[in-house]
Amino acid sequence: MENNAKTELPEKIPTHIAIIMDGNGRWALSRGLPRLAGHRAGTENLRRVIEACIEFGIRYLTIYAFSTENWGRPEEEVQGLMQILEDVINRELQELHDQGVQLHHIGRLDRLSPALREKVLHAIEYTKNNDRLILNVAFNYGGRDEIVCAIQRIIRDGIPAEAVTDELVSGYLFTAGVPDPDLIIRTSGELRGSNFLIWQGAYCEWYFTPTYWPDFDREQLLLALQEFSHRERRYGRISPVEDNIAQHAR
């Protein structure tokens, strides 16, 4: 599609979008820049995407910023990503608050430096009464780690086996109280889930685009929403149209 093409906002929009913000490194590499420059460009883009989500009336946005596996990257990159999180909070917190964004964190804060942990907790507390957009930041997040944590807490709470239900498990996850994502977007052309929302994403729709995250703009988000609006979510059943025909034939 042409860059200037105007894509309309569809009527049916997802309540909860989650994004695997991938491709920062390759974006930088293709410009002869260090990988961290790609991560910085990625955070600039995040601001634009948050604004677009607010404009489109999306209620929940979950972003994958740092996975439990990303600790395996070179020390310099890991430290750079920690610094970027700190800079983003310092620079953007007031603006996010003014826009009505409620910040949440999913994942574990225990491996972060005490100062960064405090900063994250302060940002959550500061924005807790906002309700225009709930922004879940997945930082040091892994879907398996989340399920392991949930099982540990269920056992510690002495929950009897018969009481362990789908709903109970959901309530023990980092995302307790948040509806499951309707749509997960992954940028950069990779076609995998990389340990993201593996429980919550059981019935989400997936949208993949080759665009690197720093270039994923408002128009691209609209295209993803357009595509989502045409998906039929059947949850294992058959299409309502077919079901109607089948009932009449009986």
Exposure letters 1-14 (e unless 16+ CB within 10 A, then b): eeeeeeeeeeeebb
From 4, 24, 70, 215, the catalytic residue? 70
Query: Residue 43's binding partner, choosing from Mg ion, ligand IPE, none, with beta-carbon cut-off 5 to 8 A by kind?
Result: none
Site membership for Mg ion, residue 22 (CB under 5 A): yes
The owner of tokens 């310092």 is: 90
d(CA 150, CA 137): 18
Query: What sign for the dihedral angle of Cα 43, 47, 53, 54?
Result: positive
Nearest distance, CB of residue 126 and Mg ion, angstroms: 30
Distance linking the first and last C-alpha atoms of the chain: 46
**Token duo for residue 36:** 């961290």
Q: Among ligand IPE, Mg ion, none, what binds residue 132 when CB lies within 5 to 8 Å by partner kind?
A: none
Question: In this complex, which beta carbon is closest to Mg ion, that of residue 27 or of residue 60?
Answer: 27
Which of 17-25, 94-102, 111-119, 242-250 is the region at the interface with Mg ion (rule: CB under 5 A)?
Answer: 17-25
SS3 111: coil
26: three-class secondary structure by DSSP: helix
Q: Which of 4, 22, 87, 180 is catalytic?
A: 22
- List the single partner that 15 binds among Mg ion, ligand IPE, none, CB under 5 to 8 Å by kind: none
Q: Which is nearer to ligand IPE, 45 or 127 (CB)?
A: 45
Whole-number minimum distance, CB 22 to Mg ion, in Å? 4
SS3 category, 18: strand
Q: Which is nearer to ligand IPE, 7 or 70 (CB)?
A: 70
35 in contact with Mg ion (CB under 5 A): no
Report helix, strand or coil for 61. Answer: strand
Query: Is residue 110 annotated as a catalytic residue, yes or no?
Result: no
Q: Which does 192 bind (CB under 5 to 8 A by kind): Mg ion, ligand IPE, none?
A: ligand IPE
Could you confirm whether 243 is annotated as catalytic? no
**Residues near Mg ion (CB under 5 A), total:** 1
Shortest Å distance, C-beta 212 to ligand IPE: 7
CB-hemisphere CA count at 13 Å for 231? 18
Query: Distance (Å, rounded) from C-alpha 172 to C-alpha 147?
Result: 8
Nearer to ligand IPE, 99 or 194 (CB): 194
List contacts with ligand IPE (CB under 6 A).
20-26, 64-67, 70, 81, 188, 190, 192, 194
Number of H helices, E strands in the chain: 8, 6
| Total residues found in the chain within this entry | 250
How many angstroms separate the CA atoms of 43 and 105, rounded?
Answer: 16
Binding interface with Mg ion (CB under 5 A): 22
Show which residues are catalytic: 22, 70
